[in-house]
Structure 1
Amino acid sequence: MIPLVNCKVELVCSINNSEDPTKVELAASNVLDNAQIKTSKYALQATSTEIESLTKIHQFISNHNAKKIYYRILNENLQGNSTWFYLNKQAAFANNVALCEHEDESPLGPIKIILSSSHIERVIEWLISQ
């Protein structure tokens, strides 16, 4: 069950000269629902204030038994009321969710998902729940 907490979800990624910005936008919308997307020449940013925007990522974690790795990454990157993780941009374009532990694991640069909430522990618990 989705917790009734405020959560700001941000997605940021670079747009390389070799990339089609519309494909990068599609990659972002494939992993984050109902987000407002803004693109510039070299970057894309998507934001949402709805925790439901993370539903595709939540479903992937549940369906692929990826709870432990996401839990570890989210807690390693936890600072105050915020945490983050990387996703592979090419996998996102193909409508898949692939976690990157390090920035250089995604050849075209990763998608960074930043979560902020005064109840960040509850957000993490929901995201990795079955």
Structure 2
Amino acid sequence: MRAEVWVEVRPTEDEEKVRRALSNVFIYDDLRVEESEGKKYLVALGLGFKSLIRVHNLIKEQGIEDSARSVLIKGMEDNRVVFHLHKQAAYAGVLTFVTEENESPLGPITFIVETNDPRRLIDWLAPRTSRGRRLYETPPPEDP
């Protein structure tokens, strides 16, 4: 599993605060600053499911498995799952999915996750529930 995460650093933002928002939701192995079309981005790379443990834990703590699962399934395409998180909420340690453009005024945190088994990834991050209770716990797939 490989996750690449992009987050724009707007001119009015403190880069350290953007890094904190990113770190609250993602454990990265590498971080670089990239400029594209006059915009500045932090681009983080995470290898293995450990990089998504904070997303997994926040979904569980907040009890948002059903809505998270819906968003993740909509973002599934071949061997990729793409989703967006609200940057300001992430800074506060809260997981909020962005599903509409401009829903996150300072731009979203965009996750592009590549895996051989996107369904298993989604089952691990946001398992099915019944009456608000998880029906199962899926262990993270083994990292090669």
TM-score range, shorter chain: 0.7 to 0.9
Number of residue equivalences: 124
Partner of 2:83: 85
Q: Deviations over 1:60-114 (max 9, x none)?
A: 1112221111111111121100011111111111222221112311110000111
- Structure with a larger share of its residues in strand: 2
Extract unaligned runs of 5+ from structure 2.
128-133, 135-144
**Cα distance, 1:34–1:44 mapped onto 2, change above 3 Å:** closer
Q: Which has the higher helix share?
A: 1
Q: Among residues 88, 102, 119, which one is paired with 1:104 in the alignment? A: 102
| CA–CA separation in structure 2 for the residues paired with 1:86 and 1:33 | 16
- Counterpart check, 1:32 vs 2:26: yes
**Cα-Cα RMSD:** 1.4
CA distance in 2: counterparts of 1:103 and 1:56, whole angstroms: 24
> What is the TM-score normalised by the length of structure 1?
0.87
Kindly indicate whether structure 1 or structure 2 has the higher relative contact order, using CA contacts under 8 Å at least 6 residues apart: 1
Runs of 4+ in 1 over 4 A off after TM superposition: none
Equivalent position SS for 1:39: strand
* Secondary structure in 2 matching 1:98: coil
TM-score by length of 2: 0.80
Question: Structure 1 vs Structure 2: percent identity of aligned residues?
Answer: 30
Residue 22 to residue 40, structure 1, CA distance change in 2 (3 Å): farther
Larger radius of gyration: 2
